[in-house]
Structure 1
Amino acid sequence: MVQGCENVRPALHRAPQVSYRWVDPETVLQEAGTLAVFGFGTGAPRSADPRWLNVDLEDFDAPTPLEIWQVDGPVTHGRVGELQWSSGDGWLFAAITADENTHGGPSATAATAYAQLCEFVASRRERHVLRIWNYLADINQGEGDVERYKQFCEGRAEGMGSFFAEGFPAATAIGHHASAPRLQVYLLACDEPGGRVENPRQVSAWRYPRQYGRTPPSFARAMTLPGEDALAISGTAAVVGHASAHEDDLLAQLDETLVNLEALLASANMPAGFDTQSPLKAYVRHPTDAPVVRDFLQRRLPGVPVLLLHGDICRSELLVEIDGWRYA
């Protein structure tokens, strides 16, 4: 059984297939079963399709591939105010991009974004949120409880309300360097529940001590998708217990991160290691570190598709974070 898992019914549909491809977005949006397509950074193409999201993170490699989610069966899509969505085969993609200039600081903006997303998902049959991504500007700016990440955590909790009373989904929170102070939140939900997975090497995020803010982070370390044929992995870094490890040592942080990833796979009863069908993202704080991270991952995870993105980790002492997918 999966550690910390809910009672999961057998899935009637397979998990979305996530891939990285160098393709024109309009071409892939016309393919059957395309649920969502993501471009990265200022050089990404544009599309008005609600399934398209331009993510405010720059890729260190050029040309930059698109990230593509595809499901079995037809897909419908639309917009509700600031929110964009698509659904098909029991799966739901929903996203909101909220400008702090309109909604206030990081706390108020997060509260507004999460309230809208939770209200929308609650109206859908695909009401089981399995995975969330959060990208916000200047994530480490501010000291103590006024740090923007801590403010974001407070707003997120306010916007969630009791929506995740039964347990949090897997999640990532990364700082972007776009010129506008936007908060981007997007999610994957399903009409069936998944199974929450924790890492025995780490304190669960929602149980962090007070030093990490008035409101602890709200996420599970990973989530098995219905049917347990895929694992959605939260942002994972060099954290042991609740403490950051190996300050200012990039290679040691990378080693520790891989140990944490393997511990998650073991907790989820997934095969050890990652393969060519296990797309990952590596978020790197300092652009000068990108070649080192690339070489490390190519050596330790040969053949594994990795998007190398410029992003700030939620703790200023952490230099790199990895999230992604593992298919059984």
Structure 2
Amino acid sequence: MAQGSYADFKIVKCDSLQSVNSIALDSIHPRYFFKTGDSIIIITNYDGRKNLALVMDLKSRKIVGSFMPYGRKKNQLLSTFSAGFVNNHLWGYDLIGNKIVTYDLNVKPHTADSSRYHTYPLDKSYYWVVMGDTSTVYASGNDTQYAKIDKFVPSTQGEIVEIGNFNDIPTRLKEAPIEWRLSQQAFLFIRPDQRYAALACRFTDKIEFFDLHSGTSKVLRGPDGYEAQYKMSVGESVNLIYTNMTKRAYLSGYASSKYLYLIYLGDFHYLSREEQHRKIMVFDWNGNFKKCYLVPGFPEELIVSEEEHKMYMYDQITNSLEIYDLH
């Protein structure tokens, strides 16, 4: 894939949003959440519960079901480093167990649980994994990757389609490619129709958009224009170490059919929650900045309704799901 253009952007103004509804989560602390019909599926880190995925009915606001058991065995997850909801299947990527587990919500309720699950052990360990559909995986962040994104069929992992190149590596780091890759570590997003992909960096305010049909990409830099600041620890493994100059850029996001929504910090990693001023930034899939939103509280994760009229955001401070009207 040829790397195409570079562009910079600045934020002129951010629109303030106020919550129109709130859902208290009590003892539940979401890692991810997804809306399906009149329910929200909440994926948690392990907190003593048997299952990591909980189903909340939006009308009663009660937990009405759970699945995705915690554990090391087949069809179990120790963690959900990345997760998604596609074709009525919930999937979770277990970085520790190096596997993907899917759960089919299309199967009739009386069917044995074992037929609902599929487990796909991965040949490589990746930082971030996304299922475009139940037979397609996109993955990034492996130290030995030849491309920025690998695309493959999870059941076979035979042929890997390589997306994006590392031609943008600075000359001074050409002899230290692992250092460069760690400094450019990013969250991976795939548009639902799998026409576009995006990598939103963690330590530098840079996003690379990939047109998966034309084979070109666009790097968007901004709004603050800073490179990753870090130290390296080299031993049995190579690790990036935060310094007092390390900033966090993009924190999480949501890929809709129309836009890419990203939570952005753009400030030092050591700031307390009260000192952070997080923004929600919106981009189209051609790599153009569209909008910026300010919301109260501490946005940790978000999703957008199918018609893109409402945004659901998890506020870590209030431990609630806040609902906003988008305009």
Q: Give the TM-score normalised by structure 1.
A: 0.33
Task: Identify the structure with bigger relative contact order (alpha carbons < 8 Å, sequence gap 6+).
Answer: 1
Greater helix content: 1
Q: Give the TM-score normalised by structure 2.
A: 0.33
Greater strand content: 2
Q: Which structure has the bigger radius of gyration? A: 2
